[in-house]
Amino acid sequence: MEINAEFLHKYNVSGPRYTSYPPANFFNQGFTTSDYLSELKASNQQQPANISLYIHIPFCPQRCHFCGCSTVIAQRKKVVERYVAALKTEIELVATLLDDSRSVTQIHWGGGTPNSISMNYIREIMDWIRSHFTIADHAEIAMECSPAYLDYPHIDQLAEMGFNRISLGIQDFREDVLKVVNREAPRHPVKEVVDYLRSKGFRGINLDFIYGLPLQTAESFRETIQQAIAIRPDRIVTFSYAHVPWVKEAQKQLEVIGLPDANEKMNLFLQATSQLREAGYCSIGIDHFTLPEDDLTKAYQNKQLHRNFQGYCTLETTGQVYAFGSSSISQLGGAYAQNHKEILKYMEDIETTGTAIDRGYKLSKEEQVVRAVINRIMCNGLLHLDEVAEEFGLTIAYLKDLLSFDASKFEEFTRDGLMHLDGHQIRLTEKGFLCARNIAMLLDPALKSGEGLYSKTV
């Protein structure tokens, strides 16, 4: 089937993004702090034993109107100081509950804009982490940065602190697009920033873009992607703009300016995909393009790509994720636990009890199996039911029953050239990756349906 208006009409439905399974709208307040503490202790026995740390810095100098992240705009120094102190308290408590023998293989700083706070705070927290955990030699230490607030001395300081990965949020190179979405342009030419990062030893350098924003046209987005290719970062992500104005009020302002329709939006993505492929980038998982020699490309080729809320990662660096800061989500073998989103509530709770859990979800054994199934589809586009059955010690009949796996459900997807079904094996085609969420939905026994609950799948 051609990718055209008919294709979109058929496959562009509301559905979970599956950044977690079950999706975050299943998290609830029946999951308490005592559940969290016992899950933390239980996680010492779970695999992989590696530790991933996530540090959430919610602050941004100004709000981009498309933003779907958890942010707080323009905070006073006193509040930032109090927040940093709360992070340290939270880190200390978790560290006391984890086995000393486990080492940290990934530290990810996200937000918000972590590079918008003083580097002194970042250093203070990194020193604190080092004094409470053992960091593996090959650990990946990454930060999501906005280039509007990134100066060369910041890069020097991050390198000194041990950071070795950076993701720069570009979104679009066109100033008119940035202006209508209320976003500051990069402070320095991005090519020079990327070259400088390389000279300082950073690897896996990533640029983020969003397609589907106001004023983006085929011509303007072609230029933006061409500019990205000329910079030659290791990774390029083209996120589909997730429009959820019922959760993010500021996004309504983009409706007033006018958003590209589904067909135009898909064409932006398809055009970007062919530009990036022609330039030698490999398409891996969903929305991600990587140079052939990048770690993520190799992991994808070996079907070893993994993913957490922080994005794609490799088997080597992934681990149980312990998250710190407002709104952050710990992702453990048996549960998800999310902190309060509101920073004042987060700080007050940490100051009084050391934890700030708002909600969470404890996974049953069956849900852990479904999570493994859905991750295989979303990361590697490949599912061998026999492998999953073996990994969890299940019979194939039981697994098929759990997933309501019925070959007839996949017939249309196969006919439309989106996947191949061979006995107990599903393999997505290149085109099928566009509909990975739709295929995952067929394997999700607890799917909640409804407009207004999720963004569009394509």
Ligand X SMILES: C[S@@+](CC[C@H](N)C(=O)[O-])C[C@H]1O[C@@H](n2cnc3c(N)ncnc32)[C@H](O)[C@@H]1O
Q: Which residues bind ligand SF4 (CB under 6 A)?
A: 60, 63-64, 67, 69, 71, 111-113, 146, 169
Two tokens at 209?
């873009």
The position carrying tokens 């194939």 is 396
Identified binder of ligand X from the candidate list 242, 250, 396, 421, rule CB under 6 A: 242
Two tokens at 285?
């998982």
Stretch that binds ligand X, among 51-59, 64-72, 306-314, 320-328 (CB under 6 A): 64-72
Report angle CA 419, 425, 431 to the nearest 5 degrees.
15
- Is 255 exposed, middle or buried (CB count within 10 Å of its CB: 0-12, 13-18, 19+)? exposed
In the complex with ligand X, which residue's Cβ is closer, 242 or 396?
A: 242
Which entry of ligand SF4, ligand X, none binds 327, CB below 5 to 8 A by partner kind?
A: none
- Is 106 exposed, middle or buried (CB count within 10 Å of its CB: 0-12, 13-18, 19+)? buried
In the complex with ligand X, which residue's Cβ is closer, 210 or 268?
A: 210
Binding of ligand X by 58 (CB under 6 A): no
Binding of ligand X by 241 (CB under 6 A): yes
> Rounded to an integer, what distance in angstroms lies between the CA atom of residue 284 and that of residue 294?
11
Query: Nearest distance from residue 113's CB to ligand X, in Å?
Result: 4
Which strands, in side-by-side order, build the sheet including 419-422? 382-384, 425-428, 419-422
- Chain-centre distance for alpha carbon 332: 16
Identified binder of ligand X from the candidate list 43, 52, 113, 355, rule CB under 6 A: 113
Query: Nearest distance from residue 69's CB to ligand X, in Å?
Result: 4
Query: Nearest distance from residue 154's CB to ligand X, in Å?
Result: 14
Identified binder of ligand X from the candidate list 146, 290, 326, 328, rule CB under 6 A: 146
Which entry of ligand X, ligand SF4, none binds 325, CB below 5 to 8 A by partner kind?
A: none
Which entry of ligand SF4, ligand X, none binds 242, CB below 5 to 8 A by partner kind?
A: ligand X
Binding of ligand X by 210 (CB under 6 A): yes
Cβ neighbours for 214, distance < 8 A, ≥ 6 positions apart: 177, 180, 181, 254, 257, 258, 259, 260
- Chain-centre distance for alpha carbon 231: 23
Restricting to residues 327-386, name those near ligand X by CB under 6 A.
none
Interface characters, 169-208, with ligand X (x: CB under 6 A): x-x------------------------------------x
Which entry of ligand SF4, ligand X, none binds 208, CB below 5 to 8 A by partner kind?
A: ligand X
- CA-wise closest residue to 154 among 205, 120, 105: 120
- Chain-centre distance for alpha carbon 136: 23
Two tokens at 275?
């530009």
Of all residues in the shown chain, the one whose CB is closest to ligand X is: 169
- Is 89 exposed, middle or buried (CB count within 10 Å of its CB: 0-12, 13-18, 19+)? middle
Binding of ligand X by 69 (CB under 6 A): yes
Which entry of ligand X, ligand SF4, none binds 10, CB below 5 to 8 A by partner kind?
A: none
Helix (H, G, I), strand (E, B) or coil at 166: strand
Query: Nearest distance from residue 308's CB to ligand X, in Å?
Result: 14
Cβ neighbours for 133, distance < 8 A, ≥ 6 positions apart: 51, 53, 95, 98, 103, 104
Which entry of ligand SF4, ligand X, none binds 3, CB below 5 to 8 A by partner kind?
A: none
Count the site residues for ligand X by CB under 6 A.
16
- CA-wise closest residue to 317 among 48, 45, 102, 129: 48
Residues of the shown chain interacting with ligand X in the complex, contacts defined by CB under 6 A: 66-69, 110-111, 113, 144, 146, 169, 171, 208, 210, 239, 241-242
